[in-house]
Amino acid sequence: MSIDRIVMAFAGLVVLVSLALAHYLDNSNWLWLTVFVGVNMFQASLTGFCPLAMILKKLGAKPGCAFQ
């Protein structure tokens, strides 16, 4: 699996987990985690800077088109 797919899968998982926590724990503060992920995805699309992609590259994951 390429770095791009891993980053998208991880971001999607974090969004779903934070929404589930906000719903089941009845605590809307968990939605800030969703906001953080969304903002990070937006800035990564503009700048190409993604901390997770850098970590995955050092761990030897195969680069994709977006994060090289």
Is 68 within 8 Å of 9 (Cβ atoms)?
Answer: no
Per-state percent for the chain, helix, strand, coil, to nearest 5: 75, 5, 25
Residue in this structure with the two tokens 């699309």, named with its chain if needed: 45
Q: Does a structural domain hold residue 33?
A: yes
Query: Does residue 35 sit within a domain?
Result: yes
Instruction: Judge whether residue 61 has pLDDT over 90.
Output: yes
Domain, as residue range, for 41:
3-58
Q: Evaluate whether residue 64 is within a structural domain.
A: no
One-letter identity of residue 4: D
65, part of any domain: no
In a domain, 26, yes or no: yes
Read off the pLDDT of residues 6-56 as tens digits, 9 standing for 90 and up: 999 999 999 999 999 999 999 999 999 999 999 999 999 999 899 999 999
How many domains is the chain built from? Answer: 1
Global pTM reads 0.87
The verdict on residue 51 lying in a domain is: yes
- Report yes or no on 15 lying in a domain: yes
Report how far residue 2's alpha carbon sits from residue 43's, in angstroms, rounded to the nearest whole number: 20
Return the higher-pLDDT residue of 68 and 10. Answer: 10
